[in-house]
Chains A and B, each alone.
Chain A
Amino acid sequence: MDKLKEQILRTSGVNTLKCMRCGKCSGTCPSYDEMEYHPHQFVYMVEKGEIEPLMKSKSLYKCLSCFACVERCPRNVEPAKIVEAVRLMVIRQQGENHLTANDIPDLLDEDMPQQAIVSAFRKYSK
């Protein structure tokens, strides 16, 4: 198996083969319109081993980690965990931080749910 794919499956603990391609994850995703690749595509592309386009995509940082897709997936595939795993793979590479922690306060807005702020911090390494 492709090394990147193997690593993502291991970090996320997700079995992409459980996906029955119903698209409920993308039907439920609140960030859908912001994303280039949508939750169901993350699952499908990881399954096919097409990891690099995902790693380069801004979609990684548009996912709010709200876990609506995880909650509603009828097959328990957990797409958000896949997104998280790809994100981790990127930020674990030196100098690949999307933002620094100091950039965050300026981006905060009071309508942003607290869960999104907490999860945003999880997207940046120290």
Chain B
Amino acid sequence: MQRIGVFVCWCGSNIAATVDVKAVAEALKSEPGVVFSTDYQYMCSQAGQDLIKEAIKEHKLTGLVICSCSPRMHENTFRKVAADSGINPYMVEIANIREQCSWVHKDKAIGTEKAIILARAAVAKVHLNTPLTPGESEVTKRALVIGGGIAGIQTALDIADAGYKVDIVETKPTIGGKMAQLDKTFPTLDCAACILTPKMVEVAQNENVRIFSYSEVTEVGGFVGNFTVKIKKKARYVKEDVCTGCGLCTEKCPMKKVPNDFNLGMNNKGAIYIPFAQAVPKVATIDPNYCNMLKNGKCGLCAKVCTAGAIDYTQKDEIIEEKYGAIVAATGYNPISLDKFDEFAYNQSKDVITSLEFERLTNAAGPTNGVLLRPSDLKHPKTIVFVQCVGSRCSADASKGKEYCSKICCMYTAKHAMLTRDKYPDTDVYVFYIDVRTPGKNFDEFYRRAVEEYGVHYIKGMVGKVIPEGDKLIVQGSDLLDNKQLKIEADLVVLAAAIEPDKSARNLATMLTASMDTNDFFTEAHPKLRPVESPTAGIFLSGTCQGPKDIPETVSQAGAAASKVIGLLAKDKLKGNPCVAHSDELMCNGCSSCERVCPYKAITYVDKEFRMPDRTTKVRRVAFVNEAVCQGCGACTVACPSGAMDLKGFKSKQIMAEVDAICK
């Protein structure tokens, strides 16, 4: 028989206002096994903890029931109190009488009754609790960063700085991500390349960092501290270690009609290409969909002109397997497709462009060498209309827009408008806005400068439609402050398209068993207190894959994710969770149901010899749980038809005892 102590917390007035805590403590005194029961204002405080320790000593307690807030808040606190007093920490049960009781009830009588029932259930469970000891596992001292944009680069640099090995996997032929495509950055207007490329070079030269460019993660196994990851290095048909990046092949390639994705298809490149001058690694890549040599064996010009002998048409995709202690997702974002926004004529007119396309049009390395010319006839646009919130804050149709605010558009639109007026003062610039959102250091000042110093016309209202007419675009929109409908004859319309997580994120989340929200942003373990960790142990989040954010925020988050990774890699051993699945081999019928449902691949089947009653031996196929991999989700216990599979700390018997106590 256990000797159980019950401790009822008031949580100030959080619990005590809706639950008669004294009555709960009193009622629990008559439960079987309860030898001590009391209440206290703040059980989690040092005085509260000391009260528990005293009671353990005085009443020789063997199990504790704490009636308090959710176990997510203070289970660890009370487990530590138990451990300090010589009781196994898994002999502590929390009855959640705050979130599940006092906070949801108004009537004190009902709240009190429910609190008593919840506490009784916890007592019933403690009777069946057994001491548990967590296992230990080694930590592989190497981190993987998935995504080589500014988020991934910064995370990798910070981890490498602490002395740990780190690999970056990037799907594109170069690292740099979206930031490499930008022209200037708000609110200080530094040139994006000028501040990004030194970091790209730094990461490439850091001896602790390896970059797998033009590569993808294809498989992730294992668990925190011990991930095994398969990385596919796609064939670029150029030997990475031989190519000098001289670019001769890209000039000589006779295939000139390949849409240049770095410039968002606004100009062409060769079938063999280097994405941009400062690419890292500065190595050519052949696009097999366009290369004549790879398609029909005719050409081979690049191999002839390459003095280094780097071209290799026979190269194949290569799979690398590597072990990691921690994984950081930094997969970034893309602007949404505007195909469904017919009203803005994006697909009808070349002169209706997205803001990212505008970045390329004003970038010195872009398709127009930085001269602002509109795509249709390469003339200087004299009237430019910017439209904000295109697809952002759009809850009407999930297939069209996004319900959230994309956060960065107000600022980059102000930047575009300001820079246009600065470079081309004879241009009229209009910005249609719903709200101008500029929370950030020097952000509002920046926007006001666009209005006050640069004379950008900000119009409160939304554009209803854009009608191409001759070489003009008629922009019809409302001016809500003037209560007028405007028709502006524009030469160029720039749409601030909403941003969404990169499409690869969903697939990656499945491989990592990391959770996502309905918008496919990675979910953080706690929105306030654990913002850079995924709920899945060992997986960390960096940059826009977690939510829309600008560059300063991305870099801060990248550093935060790196510090969490360093904290993990600094440990030599990790304590596991002892509440894992366990199979009763004598009951297991070898059906494989558990193996099929296990999301962590923690269950395998082994052939094992058993002694039979007639003294013969028999080999039977039974389930084996790798306790280091098991996360204790319990799916297998539900799937097991013979009842062999059980979860330590949450055995079916324990759960049923709780149910019985509640239903009594």
Q: Give A contacts to B, CB under 8 Å.
A: 18, 20-29, 32-33, 38, 40-41, 68, 72-76
**The one of A20, A24, A74, A75 that contacts B478, using a Cβ cutoff of 8 Å:** A24
On chain B, the residues within 8 Å of A26 by CB distance are 461, 464, 478, 480, 485
**The one of B396, B460, B465 that contacts A74, using a Cβ cutoff of 8 Å:** B396
Which segment, of B358-366, B387-395, B568-576, faces chain A? B387-395
In Å, the complex CA distance between A18 and B485 comes to 22
Most B-side CB within 10 Å, residue of A25, A27, A32, A74: A27
A15 to chain B, nearest CB (A): 11
| A–B Cβ pairs within 8 angstroms, 23 of them | A18-B395, A20-B434, A21-B434, A21-B480, A22-B393, A22-B462, A23-B434, A23-B478, A23-B480, A24-B464, A24-B478, A26-B480, A27-B462, A27-B478, A28-B476, A29-B464, A32-B478, A32-B485, A38-B485, A72-B343, A74-B395, A74-B462, A75-B393
Are A28 and B343 touching (Cβ within 8 A)?
A: yes
**The one of B343, B401, B478 that contacts A40, using a Cβ cutoff of 8 Å:** B478
**The one of A27, A73, A74, A75 that contacts B485, using a Cβ cutoff of 8 Å:** A27
In the complex, besides A22-B389, A38-B478, A76-B396, 15 extra interface pairs with C-beta distance below 8 angstroms are A21-B434, A22-B461, A22-B462, A23-B461, A23-B477, A23-B478, A26-B485, A27-B485, A28-B343, A38-B485, A40-B478, A74-B393, A74-B394, A76-B395, A76-B397
In Å, the complex CA distance between A84 and B161 comes to 66
Which A residue's beta carbon lies closest to that of B465?
A: A28
B56 within 8 A of A: no
In Å, the complex CA distance between A30 and B477 comes to 11
B193 within 8 A of A: no
On chain B, the residues within 8 Å of A21 by CB distance are 434, 480
A79 to chain B, nearest CB (A): 12
A47 to chain B, nearest CB (A): 15
On chain A, the residues within 8 Å of B483 by CB distance are 38, 41
In Å, the complex CA distance between A38 and B461 comes to 13
With contacts defined as CB atoms under 8 Å apart, how many contacts are there between chain A and chain B in the complex? 71
B281 to chain A, nearest CB (A): 43
In Å, the complex CA distance between A104 and B257 comes to 59
On chain B, the residues within 8 Å of A41 by CB distance are 483
Taken residue by residue from 451 to 491, chain B's Cβ proximity to chain A (1 for < 8 Å, 0 otherwise) reads as 00000000011111100000000001110100101000000
On chain B, the residues within 8 Å of A40 by CB distance are 478, 480
Most A-side CB within 10 Å, residue of B461, B465, B478: B478
Are B464 and A74 touching (Cβ within 8 A)?
A: no
A68 to chain B, nearest CB (A): 7
Are B485 and A29 touching (Cβ within 8 A)?
A: yes
On chain A, the residues within 8 Å of B401 by CB distance are 74
On chain A, the residues within 8 Å of B434 by CB distance are 20-23
In Å, the complex CA distance between A92 and B657 comes to 64
Taken residue by residue from 309 to 347, chain B's Cβ proximity to chain A (1 for < 8 Å, 0 otherwise) reads as 000000000000000000000000000000000010000
In Å, the complex CA distance between A20 and B392 comes to 12
In Å, the complex CA distance between A76 and B401 comes to 12
Which B residue's beta carbon lies closest to that of A44?
A: B480
In Å, the complex CA distance between A21 and B433 comes to 11
Which A residue's beta carbon lies closest to that of B475?
A: A27
**The one of B393, B463, B485 that contacts A33, using a Cβ cutoff of 8 Å:** B485
In Å, the complex CA distance between A73 and B463 comes to 11
B482 to chain A, nearest CB (A): 11
Are B395 and A24 touching (Cβ within 8 A)?
A: no
A70 to chain B, nearest CB (A): 9
Which A residue's beta carbon lies closest to that of B388?
A: A22
Which B residue's beta carbon lies closest to that of A31?
A: B485
On chain A, the residues within 8 Å of B476 by CB distance are 27-28
Known: A72-B343, A74-B401. A24 touches B485 (CB 8 A): no
Most B-side CB within 10 Å, residue of A20, A22, A32, A68: A22
Which A residue's beta carbon lies closest to that of B344?
A: A72
A92 to chain B, nearest CB (A): 29
In Å, the complex CA distance between A22 and B288 comes to 46
Which B residue's beta carbon lies closest to that of A35?
A: B485
Which B residue's beta carbon lies closest to that of A27?
A: B464
A11 to chain B, nearest CB (A): 21
Most B-side CB within 10 Å, residue of A23, A25, A33, A72: A23
In Å, the complex CA distance between A38 and B393 comes to 22
On chain A, the residues within 8 Å of B460 by CB distance are 23
Are A27 and B463 touching (Cβ within 8 A)?
A: yes
B662 to chain A, nearest CB (A): 39
Which B residue's beta carbon lies closest to that of A41?
A: B483
On chain B, the residues within 8 Å of A28 by CB distance are 343, 464-465, 476
On chain B, the residues within 8 Å of A18 by CB distance are 395
Are B396 and A23 touching (Cβ within 8 A)?
A: no
Most A-side CB within 10 Å, residue of B394, B401, B434, B485: B485
On chain A, the residues within 8 Å of B396 by CB distance are 73-76
In Å, the complex CA distance between A88 and B476 comes to 30
On chain A, the residues within 8 Å of B465 by CB distance are 27-28, 72
On chain A, the residues within 8 Å of B343 by CB distance are 28, 72
On chain B, the residues within 8 Å of A32 by CB distance are 478, 485
Taken residue by residue from 395 to 410, chain B's Cβ proximity to chain A (1 for < 8 Å, 0 otherwise) reads as 1110001000000000
B56 to chain A, nearest CB (A): 54
